[in-house]
Amino acid sequence: MIAEAGLAALWLAAALAALQLVLGALGLTKQRAEMLGGVRRIALAQALLTVFAFACLILLFLRVDLSVALVAQNDHADKPWLYKFAGTWGNHEGSMLMWVTILAAAGGAVALFERRLNERTLIATLAAQAAIGLGFYAFLLFASNPFARLSPPAAEGQGLNPLLQDPGLAFHPPTLYLGYVGLSVAFSFAVGALVTRYVGPAFARAMRPWVLAAWIMLTLGITAGSYWAYYELGWGGWWFWDPVENASLMPWLAATALLHSVTVLATRDGLRAWTIMLAVVAFSMSMVGTFLVRSGILTSVHAFAVDPRRGSFILALLVLYIGGALALFGLRIGTVKEGSRFDLVSREGALVLNNLLLSAILGIVLVGTLYPLAVEATTGEKLSVGAPYFNSAAGPLALLLVAVMAAGPLMRWRRDDLKVVVQRLALPVLLAACALLALTIWAPQIGLLPRLGLILAAGVAAGSVAPLWKRNLRRTPLFTYGMVIAHLGIAVSLAGMASESAFIKETLVAARPGETHVVGPYKVRFDSVEPVAGPNWTAVEATLTATRDDRQPLTLRTQSRSYWAPPTETSEAAIKTVLDGQLYVVLGNAAEDGRWQLRLWWKPFVTLIWLGGAMVAFGGFLSLVGRVWRERRAYGRAEAYA
Amino acid sequence: MKAKHQRLILVLLALVAVIGAALLAMSALKDQAAYFYTPGDVIKDSLPVGRAVRLGGMVKKGSIVREPDGVTIRFVVTDFKDEVPVVFKGIVPDLFKEDSGVIAEGKFTADGTFVADNILAKHDERYMPPQVAGAMHKSKSAEE
């Protein structure tokens, strides 16, 4: 019954989306703004129905209802409840249902909260959101039905890929999807603005909080995914330039550019066409990412199943929506008036440079991700593009971007004097010079990119907090703090990345219990190996003791696990975080003579990478709260005077 | 500065950035794209000595040998026709085993041995790397 109720709710929601589109179009052509109320209510109902359908699927997974095909393929009675719950989206159909639910919920949120956009543009926006929704409802109902029954019911579930059986599964996909799909709102806003020819500061101020919210979630999702891969895969890396990772990075790059250009539009009425374009590109990147991950043309832990029909379906949707939006852009952008002007040396100038660099990096990542697919499709030749390409092509631009980031906030809007800007940058430059000197003396052997990274991080950290210099800190608006913290987070993250790659120490040995090996500042003694058991796995567990000078010794436990549903081996790394870095130990295979392979890493300041990511998201959050709060107040005042 | 000039400068800047990024991407792609080889390709073509490449195939049955240091292993990658010896120092992935698909990242030495610095095995039981599947298919249909 639950499965049927969920399926019915989905069909009903799809019908409502169609109605929302038709009513919206009618409202626009017949110039009847009073239809807005109806469209709003339909969007809300549609959101509630999809949430209900998603709740049905979660319930089926929690109850391990083996008469539902999806549950039988991915669930297992022995799984802990958290993985039954999170396993709902640990498969193709479930994650697509989550995608659609968030899409409808985002539309519902716009219908519920958006009060500042003019009525016609809001109707067009909600109609656009419904149009996106229709395509993905069709995909879900015709090519990925999560509620399909299995007859006769399976005797036992097949379980969930053990790599996914981790608390990270409860956090990483939902946040990432909120960001990914949240960008659909920016897309719909852009379409709405184009349809009703309403591109200007008021539009930008209405769109900004939505972009910001999606961007915060995307930042959190990427940060969480990076840390999850770092500790779960046991490879010790935090970013692999895997196409699936790139699929999440590309929307983030576009959304970051959009976030900055929308500020120019809101504050100075500049970059009108460009902002609209970026809003279209950002969600297009989300859809490209969905296509790459969900079509099965890539193989990774994210590609749950390979079905070519699904790939072509998503590709068709992709072409339809991106092509449609670009065609609308081409038709209408001529009627958008040119925005106001500004000098090259100005805040706007710096933000334009930021946008150019972000777009260039986006292009490089996109080319590197799609190139192997294009080559294989045309010549049949197989090749892969990995870290060396991305680091050497995108690395220098990213460093340049970070340098611009330090200077931008110190510049005035419209026009500034280059000499004065240079003076304001004196302290950051001084700090960077100190870092250069220190590195030349104490660490002459490190590579160029990490060296530049560390120097820049020092300068940029100083540059990020410089906007607070000589300001009344109590009267500084919350969103300025948000910007400062987010920029500082980038510097912190950069410092972590550079430090990890510059100073990492690795020891690979085959050791007998009782032996001691050295990695970085630690002496690690291999104490014992013992069998242990968990709810749905058995494992061998190695216990190690790490000592450093005369500090409290650290105990590390690392496991090599065998799951039985499905039968899979995984290794659980032992990670100990201390103030100046992490000790990371992985247990390998046993040799015949009683020795065990051990891989020990000392990673100085590696945690800064994710701390920085969290700071960026937190800065975004402060900014969001600050903006909404200030505009609520201004709105209230305007109403009182009206 | 006139507004027209300013616009021109902006457009020029954008062009320079885009062209620069494209050049950067192309040159990096030419050097860094790791080509995928199967044992058959290696025998046919000249050895790409010293370039970062990927080698894919099946781990030959009975070919895994562990060196006395306990962390170096040697094995043979086969497509059921041609074979390439591989040496790897490190911890092999959990799903690495004989008679199962593997992709090794690394470089060829002049004597034809592949020195791997990374081993990728399939993520779960249901999955085989498509490149390996393609290579298998090719060598099988060549036999017929």
pLDDT in tens, B61-78: 888 888 888 888 899 998
B66 touching chain A per CB within 8 A: yes
**Residue A240 per-residue DSSP state:** -
- Inside any domain, residue A345: no
For A80-141, the DSSP string reads -HHHHHHGGGSSHHHHHHHHHHHHHHHHHHHHHH--SS-HHHHHHHHHHHHHHHHHHHHIII
In a domain, A17, yes or no: yes
The pTM score is 0.90
- Residue A137 located in a structural domain: yes
For the residues A68-77, what does the mean pLDDT come to? 91
State whether residue A361 sits within 8 Å of chain B by CB.
yes
What's the rounded Cα separation, in Å, for the pair A417 and A429? 18
Q: Does residue B111 have a pLDDT over 60?
A: yes
Chain A (413-442) residues lying within 8 Å, Cβ to Cβ, of chain B: none
Q: Pseudo-torsion of CA A422, A428, A433, A434, nearest 10°?
A: 150
For residue A356, give the nearest of B13, B70, B92 by CB distance: B13
A478 within a domain of the structure (yes/no): no
**Which A residues in the span 550-569 are in contact with B, Cβ-Cβ below 8 Å?**
560, 566-569
Distance from CA of A212 to the nearest CA of B (A): 25
Whether the per-residue pLDDT at A381 is higher than 90: the answer is no
Of A154, A180, A200, the one marking the end of a domain is: A154
* Most B CBs within 10 Å, among A163, A232, A261, A356, to test the B interface: A356
Q: Contact B13/A599, CB-based, under 8 Å? A: no
- Of the pLDDT bands very low, low, confident and very high (cuts 50, 70, 90), residue A189 is very high
Q: Which among B28, B71, B105 has CB closest to A393?
A: B28
* Judgement on whether residues B77 and B56 belong to the same structural domain of the protein: yes
Q: Is pLDDT of B135 > 60? A: no
Tell whether B14 and B83 lie within a shared domain.
no
**Residue B143 banded pLDDT, cuts 50, 70, 90:** very low
Antiparallel, parallel or unpaired: β B53-59 and B34-37: parallel
Residue A574 is part of which domain span?
505-604
Q: Are B18 and B64 in the same domain?
A: no
Give the residue-averaged pLDDT of A519-542.
Answer: 92
Q: Which residues of A touch B31 (CB under 8 A)?
A: 388-389, 392
Residue A109 has pLDDT above 50, yes or no: yes
- For residues B22 and B77, membership in a common domain is answered with no
Q: Which residue of B has its CA nearest to A506?
A: B90
Q: What is the mean pLDDT of residues A605-634?
A: 92
Q: Based on the fold, state whether residues B50 and B65 are members of the same structural domain.
A: yes
What pLDDT does residue B142 have? 46
Q: How much is the average pLDDT of A490-503?
A: 95
> Which positions in chain B touch A356 (Cβ < 8 Å)?
13-14, 17-18
CA gap A261, A204 in Å, rounded? 9
How far, in whole angstroms, is CA A371 from its chain's centroid?
22
What is d(CA A200, CA A291) in angstroms, rounded to the nearest whole number?
A: 32
Q: Is residue A134 assigned to a domain?
A: yes
Q: How many CA atoms lie within 13 A of A95 on its CB side?
A: 23
Average pLDDT over residues A221-248: 87
At B2, the pLDDT band (50, 70, 90 cuts) reads low
Q: Please name the residues between 294 and 313 in chain A that touch chain B, using a CB distance below 8 Å.
A: 299-301
Instruction: Tell me the mean pLDDT in the region A555-568.
Output: 86
Is the pLDDT reported for residue B23 higher than 90? no
Distance from CA of B115 to the nearest CA of A (A): 17
Average confidence score pLDDT of chain A: 89
Residue A266 has pLDDT above 70, yes or no: yes
Query: Of A578-582, B89-93, B96-100, which has the strongest mean pLDDT?
Result: A578-582
- A515's CB contacts (< 8 A; 6+ apart) are A509, A525, A526
Q: Considering only alpha carbons, which residue of chain B is nearest residue A415?
A: B1
pLDDT at position A166 is 85
Residue B124, pLDDT above cutoff 50: no
The stretch A165-169 carries a mean pLDDT of: 86
Residue A306's pLDDT is 55
- Going by DSSP bridges, is the β-strand pair A567-572/A574-578 parallel, antiparallel, or unpaired? unpaired
Please answer yes or no on whether A364 and B10 come within 8 Å at the CB atom. Answer: no
Per-position b or e across A539-558, b if 16+ CB within 10 A of its CB: bbbbbbebebeeeeebebeb
Higher pLDDT, A301 or A637: A637
Instruction: List B residues 83-112 in contact with A (Cβ-Cβ < 8 A).
Output: 89-92, 94-95, 105
Give percent of chain A with pLDDT exceeding 70.
96
Q: Which residues on B lie below 8 Å from A591 (Cβ)? A: 66, 70
Q: How far apart are CA A558 and CA A68, in angstroms?
A: 37
For residue A590, the chain B residue with the least C-alpha distance is B70
Whether A430 has a pLDDT exceeding 70, the answer reads yes
**Worst-scoring range by mean pLDDT, A4-18, A121-135, A265-279?**
A265-279
Q: What is the pLDDT of residue A423?
A: 86
Among the partner-chain residues B10, B90, B127, the one whose CB lies closest to the CB of A299 is B127
For residue A355, the chain B residue with the least C-alpha distance is B14
Which range among A81-85, A330-334, B124-128 shows the weakest confidence by mean pLDDT? Answer: B124-128
Tell me how close the Cα of A163 comes to any Cα of chain B, in angstroms. Answer: 9
In a domain, A615, yes or no: no
In the predicted model, what is the mean pLDDT of residues A60-89?
Answer: 92
Contact yes or no for B70 and A597 at CB 8 A: yes
| CA–CA min distance B111, chain A (Å) | 23
Residues of A in contact with B6 (CB under 8 A): 341, 343-344
Between A152-156, A237-241, A435-439, B133-137, the lowest mean confidence (pLDDT) is in B133-137
* Confidence band for A308, pLDDT divided at 50, 70 and 90: low
Of the three residues A103, A121, A154, the one that is the final residue of a domain is A154
d(CA A272, CA A258): 11
CA distance A111 to A117: 11
pLDDT on residue A313: 86
Comparison of pLDDT for A216 and A443, the residue scoring more: A216
Q: Above 50 in pLDDT, residue B127?
A: no
Q: Which of B24, B34, B70 sits opposite A393 (nearest CB)?
A: B24
Scan residues 362-391 of A and list those with Cβ closer than 8 Å to B.
363-364, 367-368, 371-372, 381-386, 388-389
Is the model more confident about B11 or about A488?
Answer: A488
What are the two backbone dihedrals, phi and then psi, of residue A575, each rounded to the nearest 5 degrees?
-125, 125
| B69 interface with A at CB cutoff 8 Å | yes
CA distance B144 to chain A (A): 21
pLDDT at A640: 55
Q: A409 and A467 in contact (C-beta within 8 Å)?
A: yes
Q: Please, which pLDDT band fits residue A235 given cuts at 50, 70 and 90?
A: confident
Q: What is the ipTM of this complex?
A: 0.73
Whether A36 is in a domain gets the answer yes
Distance (Å, whole) CA B119 – CA A312: 32
Instruction: Kindly indicate the confidence band of residue A14, based on its pLDDT and cuts at 50, 70 and 90.
Output: very high
Per-residue model confidence as pLDDT tens digits over A354-374: 999 999 999 999 988 888 888
Joined tokens for residue A564: 């039985």
- Domain coverage including residue B119: 35-143
Beta carbons within 10 angstroms of residue A328's beta carbon = 17
Is the confidence at residue A420, as pLDDT, over 70?
Answer: yes
How many structural domains comprise chain A? 2
Burial class of residue A239, CB neighbours in 10 A (0-12, 13-18, 19+): middle
**Distance (Å, rounded) from C-alpha A236 to C-alpha A571?**
12
